[in-house]
């Protein structure tokens, strides 16, 4: 029973993956090349005019949405703080009290 | 059928297989390495879908660092899953 | 304490660490021209740390230096963000005419120029420093913490 349910779920998920793959654009032919003209080459609002940056992804990450990058760096900092706080050296006398 | 669709199909089959193998393995180190293989295939798929930023981040974090951290964590505990 | 893998692994690690670090630095300082950036380059540099820790198995005393490096990166990033406070936070005040990275790009398709971008490459460098130090510190603490626990204590 469990095995057949797992097989059915596998077949359904795989069919959805194949279906989604068949809807893709052909390789090397993006759908919207005019978005390049809007984001990158526009002389008033493009990334090359605003920031002198060729890479639009980096321009968005570090300039337009820089505050989100600051939040991501803060998340990483608190992750490191948590790891250092959990894995610090334990005093031997405390363990003897507990054990 | 063009060649890139065949490559996409093979990578998707490999993704589902490795993701099932993570759940199926009882040996935790095998499961961690299979998770690393799943991340590597996912980064290859990202690269073929022309998102090289995400592909580099996935390959570095998912395939290298996460596997190393999992193996360091498994070293401190039991290697087999479940209670013996 | 020290597990120290075989000579083949250590030699391959010695050979491979330098290209990995160079690739990470390339990803960081060319972040405004090619795909990549601070986070990706920092993760690549941290993976070289993982290679060294796994191959050699000796840790050293790098906790304080890594921690201060990470704090330095984050503080400089916030400081650089607040330097443009006359207009807005995260204002690109160095673009096209500033002191460093102040060159201007050509419009249209161009091969790219390293001396351009204003504060974006500087922020890439700061975030790369922070991410490399943070992920290396996580790996270092995990390796040291898993190594110092003995099995009796975990099972009991």
Q: A21 — contact with chain B (CB < 8 Å)?
A: yes
Which residues span the domain enclosing B51?
3-76
Distance of CA B42 to the CA centre of its chain: 7
Which chains lie within 8 Å of chain B at 3 or more CB pairs, if any? A, C
Contact (CB<8Å) B60/C47 = yes
Which regions of chain C are under pLDDT 50?
1, 151-156
In a domain, B35, yes or no: yes
In a domain, B63, yes or no: yes
With a threshold of 0.90, tell me whether the complex ipTM lies above it.
Answer: no
Question: Which residue is listed with tokens 């295939």?
Answer: B41
Tell me what percent of the residues of chain C surpass a pLDDT of 90: 42
Check the CA dihedral B41-B44-B50-B56 and report its sign. positive
> Cα–Cα distance between A6 and B80 in angstroms, integer?
24
Range B17-49 burial, b when 16+ CB lie within 10 A, else e: ebbebbeebeebeebbbbbbbbbbbbbbbbbee
In a domain, B83, yes or no: no
Residues of chain B with Cβ-Cβ distance to C37 below 8 Å are: 53
pLDDT for residue A18 is more than 60:
yes
Average pLDDT value for chain B: 88
Residues of chain A with Cβ-Cβ distance to B4 below 8 Å are: 27
Residues of chain C with Cβ-Cβ distance to B64 below 8 Å are: 43, 47, 50
In a domain, B81, yes or no: no
Size of interface B-C (CB pairs under 8 A): 52
Give pLDDT tens digits for A32-79: 666 777 777 777 777 787 778 888 888 888 888 888 989 999 999 999
Q: How many domains does chain B have?
A: 1
Give me the residue from B56, B64, B65 closest to C36, CB to CB.
B56
Check the CA dihedral C40-C44-C47-C52 and report its sign. negative
H-type helices in B1-84, by residue range? 3-24, 28-48, 52-57, 66-76
In a domain, B82, yes or no: no
Q: B56 — contact with chain C (CB < 8 Å)?
A: yes
Residues of chain A with Cβ-Cβ distance to B20 below 8 Å are: 10
């Amino acid at each position: 029973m469990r095995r057949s349910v797992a097989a059915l779920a596998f077949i359904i998920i795989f069919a959805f993956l194949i279906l989604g793959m068949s809807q893709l654009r052909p390789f090397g032919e993006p759908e919207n090349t005019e978005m390049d003209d809007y984001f990158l080459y526009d002389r008033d609002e493009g990334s090359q005019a605003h920031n002198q940056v060729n890479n639009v992804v980096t321009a968005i990450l570090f300039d337009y949405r820089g505050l989100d990058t600051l939040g991501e760096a803060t998340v990483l900092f608190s992750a490191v703080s948590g790891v250092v706080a959990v894995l610090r050296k334990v005093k031997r006398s405390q363990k003897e009290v507990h054990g | 059928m063009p060649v890139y669709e065949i490559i996409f199909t093979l990578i998707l089959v490999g993704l589902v297989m490795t993701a099932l193998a993570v759940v199926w393995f009882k040996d935790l180190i095998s499961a961690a390495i299979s998770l690393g293989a799943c991340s590597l295939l996912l980064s290859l798929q990202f690269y073929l879908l022309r998102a090289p930023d995400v592909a580099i981040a996935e390959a570095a974090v998912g395939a290298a660092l996460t596997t190393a951290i999992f193996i360091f964590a498994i070293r401190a505990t039991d290697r087999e899953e479940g209670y013996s | 304490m020290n597990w120290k893998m075989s000579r083949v692994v250590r030699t391959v690690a010695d050979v491979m660490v330098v290209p990995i670090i160079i690739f990470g630095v390339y990803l960081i300082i060319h972040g405004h021209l090619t795909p990549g950036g601070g986070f990706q380059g920092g993760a690549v540099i941290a993976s070289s740390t993982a290679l060294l820790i796994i191959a050699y198995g000796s840790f050293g005393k790098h906790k304080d230096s890594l921690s201060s490096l990470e704090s330095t990166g984050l503080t400089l990033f916030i400081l650089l963000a607040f330097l443009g406070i006359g207009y807005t936070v995260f204002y690109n005040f160095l673009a096209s005419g500033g002191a460093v990275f102040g060159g201007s790009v050509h419009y249209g398709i161009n091969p790219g120029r390293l001396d351009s971008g204003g504060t974006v490459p500087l922020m890439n460098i700061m975030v790369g420093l922070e991410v490399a130090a943070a992920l290396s510190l996580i790996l270092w603490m995990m390796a040291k913490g898993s190594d110092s626990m003995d099995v009796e204590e975990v099972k009991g």
